[in-house]
């Protein structure tokens, strides 16, 4: 069982993936590694949740995928944000900020 500190808050995976893809294209493993790195190893994204999320984002038009070759010579699928994905990222961030503020109020006032 994964360490509780490494589990993502439900509903945040798509937001995190969109944010990590904002600067440019990445393949799936690199996305997971980048989230782990940026969170100082506090967040780990498992393949079993990452790839279904990426597929959902492809179907919704939030990302585009292209096949290429990795630095190690392996065939990989790279994902890139679309204009719709940038718009969705802003919506996800606004929703997260709103919920986080509400949680903070409850924690402070309870």
Distances (CA, A) of 103 to 10, 11, 55, 92, 100: 14, 15, 30, 16, 5
Whether the CB-CB separation of 11 and 22 falls below 8 Å is answered with: no
- The domains found in the chain, sorted by start residue, are 4-109 (1.10.10.10)
- What is the pTM (predicted TM-score) of this model? 0.86
| pLDDT tens track for 40-90 | 999 999 999 999 999 999 999 999 999 988 888 889 999 999 999 999 999
Task: Quote the pLDDT of residue 2.
Answer: 47
């Amino acid at each position: 069982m994964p360490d509780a500190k490494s589990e993502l808050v439900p509903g945040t995976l798509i937001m995190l993936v969109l944010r990590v893809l904002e600067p440019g294209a990445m393949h799936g493993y690199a996305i997971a590694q980048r989230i782990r790195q940026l969170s100082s190893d506090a967040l780990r994204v498992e393949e079993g949740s990452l790839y279904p999320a990426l597929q959902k984002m492809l179907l919704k038009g939030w990302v585009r995928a292209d096949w290429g070759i990795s630095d190690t010579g392996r065939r990989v699928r790279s994902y890139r944000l679309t204009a719709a994905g940038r718009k969705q990222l802003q919506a996800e961030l606004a929703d997260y900020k709103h919920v986080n503020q509400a949680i903070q109020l409850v924690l402070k006032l309870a």
